[in-house]
Amino acid sequence: MTAAPNKAMLRAEARARRDAIAGGDPAAARAAAEAAARNFMAAIAIPPGTVVSVFSSFRGELDTGPLRDALLAAGAVVALPVVVAPQAPLVFRRWSPETGMMPGRWGILEPPPSAPEVIPAIVVLPLLAFDPAGHRLGYGGGFYDRTLEHLRATAPVMAVGLAYSAQMFPALPAESHDIALDCIVTEEFAQFL
C-alpha cells in the first residue's frame, strides 16, 4: 500500500505547478488573472457596498489586481488582510487604488494601520492547492482557518479560493481544524462546493 503524500510534498508540487505558470509567460499569467476575475464576477453576486477581502498577490500567486478592479467597479468595498500576530486571526483594512501600501510581516503588501478596519462578507483566499471537495492547502500558518472560525462566530462569511486551475489536485488531506472552501475560482471555472 502506498502512503498518502504528506503536506510538505504536496506544497512543493503545488508551488512548482503555480510557479511554472506565473514565471513562464507573463502575458498568459495576466490573461489568466483577467479570466479568473470575469469568472468570479459572473458567479458571485456582489451587491454594492459588500465588503470583499482580496489577498495581495505574492510569489507567483494569481494576480488579484483585475479582481480588485472589477469589485471596485461593481461598487464593492475592497479590503486586504493584515497579519497582526502569529497566532491571531487576520484583520481586514479597507483598500483603494490610492491606499499607500506597506510591507507586512512577510513582505506582503498591506494597507497601513490608518486604513479603516472592516469586516468582510466574502473572503478570497490564497492557496497552493485545492481539490474538488473544497479542501485547500495553504502555507501552513493556519491564518485563514483561524480567521474564518473567528468571523463565522458572529456572521456568515463566504470563503472563496482563487488560484490557477493547474493547482487542483484529485484529493488533499484535511484535518479537523481545516475549513473547506465555499467556492473555487480559476481562470477556467467558478464552482460552488
Host domain of residue 28: 7-192
pLDDT recorded at residue 61: 92
Instruction: For residue 104, say whether it is annotated as part of any ligand binding site.
Output: no
Instruction: For residue 143, say whether it is annotated as part of any ligand binding site.
Output: yes
pTM of the model: 0.93
pLDDT per residue rounded down to tens, the chain (193 residues): 344 458 888 889 988 888 888 777 889 899 999 999 999 999 999 999 999 999 999 888 999 999 999 999 999 999 999 999 888 999 999 999 999 999 988 889 999 999 999 999 999 999 999 999 999 998 878 899 999 999 999 999 999 999 999 999 999 988 877 899 999 999 999 999 9
CB < 8 Å & 24+ apart, contacts of 110-118? 110/56, 110/80, 110/81, 110/82, 110/83, 111/80, 111/82, 117/91, 117/92, 117/93, 118/51, 118/77, 118/79, 118/92, 118/93, 118/94
**Cβ-contact 41, 70 below 8 angstroms:** yes
**What is the distance of C-alpha 182 from the center of its chain?**
12
Residue 83 in any domain: the answer is yes
Instruction: For residue 24, say whether it is annotated as part of any ligand binding site.
Output: no
Instruction: For residue 139, say whether it is annotated as part of any ligand binding site.
Output: yes
Categorise residue 121: left if φ over 0, alpha if ψ from -120 to 50, beta otherwise: alpha
Instruction: For residue 141, say whether it is annotated as part of any ligand binding site.
Output: yes
CATH number of the domain bearing residue 43: 3.40.50.10420
pLDDT recorded at residue 5: 58
Residue 2 in any domain: the answer is no
Instruction: For residue 148, say whether it is annotated as part of any ligand binding site.
Output: no
**How many domains does the chain divide into?**
1
pLDDT recorded at residue 3: 44
Instruction: For residue 128, say whether it is annotated as part of any ligand binding site.
Output: no
Q: How far apart are CA 14 and CA 139, in angstroms?
A: 11
pLDDT recorded at residue 1: 39
Residue 124 in any domain: the answer is yes
Residue 122 in any domain: the answer is yes
**Cβ-contact 61, 35 below 8 angstroms:** no
Residue 92 in any domain: the answer is yes
Residue 1 in any domain: the answer is no
Taking each helix axis from N to C terminus, what angle separates 26-43 and 65-73, rounded to the nearest 10 degrees?
A: 30
Nearest Cα neighbor of 31 from 183, 166, 164 is: 164
Instruction: For residue 65, say whether it is annotated as part of any ligand binding site.
Output: no
